[in-house]
Homo-oligomer: A and B are copies of this chain.
Amino acid sequence: MTDTEKTARVIFMPSGLRGTAALGTTVLGAARALGVDIDSTCGGRAICGRCQITVSEGRFGREGVTSSAAHLTPPTEAEEKYARLRGLAAGRRLACQARILGDMVIDVPPESQIHRQVVRKQAEARDIAIDPLIRPLFVEVEKPELGDPSSDFARLSRALAEEWDIEGLRASPAVLSGLQEALREGDWRVTALVYQRDETADPELIGLRPGFDERLFGLAVDVGSTTIAAHLTDLHTGEVLAAGGVMNPQIRFGEDLMSRVSYAMMNEGGAAEMTQAVRAAINDLAREVSARAGIGVHDILDVALAGNPVMHHLLLGIDPSELGQAPFALAIGEALSPRAAGLGLELAPGARAYVLPCIAGHVGADAAAVVLAEAPHEREEMTLIVDVGTNAEIILGNRERVLACSSPTGPAFEGAQISSGQRAAPGAVERVRIDRETLAARYKVIGCDLWSDEEGFEEAVKDTGVTGICGSGIIEAVAEMFLAGIIDANGRFDAGLAETNPHVRARGRGFAWVLREGEPEIAVTQDDVRAIQLAKAALYAGARLLMDELGVESVERIRLAGAFGNHIDPLYAMILGLIPDCPLEAVTSAGNAAGTGARMALASSAARREIEEAVRRIEKIETAVEPRFQEHFVAAMAFPHATAPCPNLERKVALPKGREENHPGGKRRRRRGRGK
């Protein structure tokens, strides 16, 4: 059919797109004509090296296409120069230089595709799609001439239209101010950084660099109430170039979220102060990670931001007072794509920002980032995702439905409002074991690899001291207290022990178990046990409520997100009844899922569309208006007995002799009966 004198048949792999090309067409030209996904930023000048391809040798019978590298023109001078300067693997050719001389099958390796996947190492993690909203486009611009009144911007726009099909280019004054210098410095050869929010939006020039300079840097920021974490990312590869974190300086206005909301409510201009503080911290952090990666903060072109609703509002400059009172109305939850400068962020003059959507008034953009990273909406298995902070964000679902709610766990899981509690920091007790006979503690502290009963422990902790007990430590301590019979299933101390055991003591109107003597003494009191009971009941009740809603009795996977999820031992979470029954090996840490989600949104236009759509579809459950939440909450106050669904517990934790009566196995089953 084809005129073999003048055209060749070409097939591009792995897409399988095929067609004919006039002999002499560049491979890149043929690829573009066929809609093949192949990268190039230099406009076919053998500079960027992104369009590398190989030719499959041999005869492809079914297609009738003979393929051979000999069906391409030999390397051009420019191509040889590229190979000399930057290296070109054997068999690789630059698609912009190689011209088609005969039928062939062309392989486009993954790194030459614009829309590529970055495979993450962690087995449970999904791949990150690379699909940035910013493209670096190299162009040669006509010089101005006396008698041609066109502006530099008009000539640049024309070059971008001709070489890259960019139509309707816009630019902000901040970017225009650097235009003339870049054009002249690059001798009219420049790399235009073109941002496009989505297909319907006009392309926007957000930067212009002299010469060929295709670097693309972005910053993913997770604004936590306590810590602000940033990942400086190469937008071409998704690779993290530098990461850093700082304390959220808003802490001086209030330790937890609600005290910050109160500060905003009680102080004229209080919200603005906190906005200013968080923006300044992000700017500091951006400078720090840039310096560490050896780039300038002005090289950062895009920033993706996630945070809980209060952090989200304060970052945007919105007073969060409404989030502190029913009905907890968000000012805005929809994703936003403002200029970074509009958020007070001092990055590249034209830098853009992306603020991830909030799910509901108590389930923020950080939870949305977790959803993006974990993608429950893409999975078959019924997955429960728990992100614990002052509130727990709970997400349950699979590809059919996804539900979300927030549960008021309070700050106990973070070590706050616990008598010996403290934030996770060097010196904090993070692991606890209790001798079933003596009720003495063995423990580990953050910053030291030794257990407290190992030789050299006291020497090793001399610098930090043993200063308190952090979230994971208090959970293990309470679970072990239960397993050791110090407290019963209702959380009540065994009063008799205070008379017989030196570690259990009367304290105020109740009792305390002393983990460590000295200054400070570290102990767990009756009030501490109650605080943990309230927190775990809230968490469990939230998960149960979503399970009721979905009509499921168990979940297939549990992912524990955030710092808490990273440090907590799933076994003890299950002993305490923080989470519903699930095979222990299916309970895993999701790591910094919010940070990962922010990075995904940073690097990918498709990821932004995905999370916006996912958030629209997530069914939001308000625990405060669900009567069953209260029922589940009350029922979940007691500690459960580990039963069949969790066989690991029997194996790993020996119950103390003579204390089995404290663990009524029926409790859990009774509670379950109330689910619908």
Return A306 CB to nearest CB of chain B, in Å.
16
Take A174-B342, A319-B177 as given contacts and tell me if A625 and B147 are in contact as well, using a CB distance cutoff of 8 Å.
yes
* Most chain B Cβ neighbours within 10 Å, of A177, A326, A624: A177
Q: A318, B361: Cβ atoms under 8 Å?
A: no
Q: A342, B149: Cβ atoms under 8 Å?
A: no
Return A361 CB to nearest CB of chain B, in Å.
6
With a cutoff of 8 Å between Cβ atoms, the chain B residues found around residue A148 in the complex are 327
With a cutoff of 8 Å between Cβ atoms, the chain B residues found around residue A146 in the complex are 326-328, 622, 624-625
Return A420 CB to nearest CB of chain B, in Å.
37
In the complex the two chains form, what is the Cα distance from A294 to B606 in whole Å? Answer: 50
A104 within 8 A of B: no
Bits for A302-344, please: 1 = Cβ < 8 Å to B, else 0.
0000000000000011110110001111111110101001110
Partner of A172, one of B147, B152, B176, B342: B342
Q: A332, B624: Cβ atoms under 8 Å?
A: no
Q: Enumerate A165-212 residues with CB–CB distance to B below 8 Å.
A: 171-174, 176-177, 179-181, 200-202
With a cutoff of 8 Å between Cβ atoms, the chain B residues found around residue A317 in the complex are 173-174, 176-177
With a cutoff of 8 Å between Cβ atoms, the chain B residues found around residue A328 in the complex are 144, 146
Q: B338, A152: Cβ atoms under 8 Å?
A: no
Q: B172, A332: Cβ atoms under 8 Å?
A: no
Q: B338, A151: Cβ atoms under 8 Å?
A: no
Return A594 CB to nearest CB of chain B, in Å.
19
In the complex the two chains form, what is the Cα distance from A330 to B151 in whole Å? Answer: 5
With a cutoff of 8 Å between Cβ atoms, the chain B residues found around residue A319 in the complex are 177, 180-181
Bits for A583-613, please: 1 = Cβ < 8 Å to B, else 0.
0000000000000000000000000000000
A358 within 8 A of B: yes
Bits for A329-369, please: 1 = Cβ < 8 Å to B, else 0.
11111101010011100000000000000111101000000
Return A511 CB to nearest CB of chain B, in Å.
39
Return A145 CB to nearest CB of chain B, in Å.
5
Q: A180, B333: Cβ atoms under 8 Å?
A: no
With a cutoff of 8 Å between Cβ atoms, the chain B residues found around residue A177 in the complex are 316-319, 331
Return A277 CB to nearest CB of chain B, in Å.
16
In the complex the two chains form, what is the Cα distance from A363 to B149 in whole Å? Answer: 9
Q: Enumerate A93-137 residues with CB–CB distance to B below 8 Å.
A: none
A505 within 8 A of B: no
In the complex the two chains form, what is the Cα distance from A360 to B336 in whole Å? Answer: 37
With a cutoff of 8 Å between Cβ atoms, the chain B residues found around residue A572 in the complex are none
A451 within 8 A of B: no
Q: B318, A620: Cβ atoms under 8 Å?
A: no
Return A349 CB to nearest CB of chain B, in Å.
9
A153 within 8 A of B: yes
Q: B343, A153: Cβ atoms under 8 Å?
A: no
Q: B333, A154: Cβ atoms under 8 Å?
A: yes
In the complex the two chains form, what is the Cα distance from A338 to B171 in whole Å? Answer: 9
A500 within 8 A of B: no
Partner of A622, one of B149, B326, B331, B360: B149
Q: B331, A151: Cβ atoms under 8 Å?
A: yes
Q: B151, A332: Cβ atoms under 8 Å?
A: yes
Partner of A152, one of B151, B181, B332, B359: B332
A150 within 8 A of B: yes
Return A30 CB to nearest CB of chain B, in Å.
33
Q: B173, A336: Cβ atoms under 8 Å?
A: yes
Take A180-B319, A342-B174 as given contacts and tell me if A331 and B152 are in contact as well, using a CB distance cutoff of 8 Å.
yes
Return A27 CB to nearest CB of chain B, in Å.
35
Return A109 CB to nearest CB of chain B, in Å.
38
Return A408 CB to nearest CB of chain B, in Å.
14
Take A148-B327, A151-B331, A179-B332 as given contacts and tell me if A173 and B622 are in contact as well, using a CB distance cutoff of 8 Å.
no
With a cutoff of 8 Å between Cβ atoms, the chain B residues found around residue A201 in the complex are 202
Q: B176, A329: Cβ atoms under 8 Å?
A: no
Partner of A359, one of B149, B174, B179, B331: B149
Bits for A505-533, please: 1 = Cβ < 8 Å to B, else 0.
00000000000000000000000000000
With a cutoff of 8 Å between Cβ atoms, the chain B residues found around residue A144 in the complex are 327-329
Return A267 CB to nearest CB of chain B, in Å.
16
Return A297 CB to nearest CB of chain B, in Å.
19
Q: B176, A331: Cβ atoms under 8 Å?
A: yes
With a cutoff of 8 Å between Cβ atoms, the chain B residues found around residue A173 in the complex are 316-318, 336, 338, 342-343
Return A92 CB to nearest CB of chain B, in Å.
41
- A184 (CB) vs chain B CBs: closest residue: B322
Sample (6) of A-B pairs whose CB atoms are under 8 Å apart:
A145-B327, A146-B326, A147-B625, A151-B330, A151-B331, A154-B332
- Kindly list the 3 A-B residue pairs having the minimum CB-CB distance in the complex, ordered from nearest: A149-B360, A144-B329, A151-B330
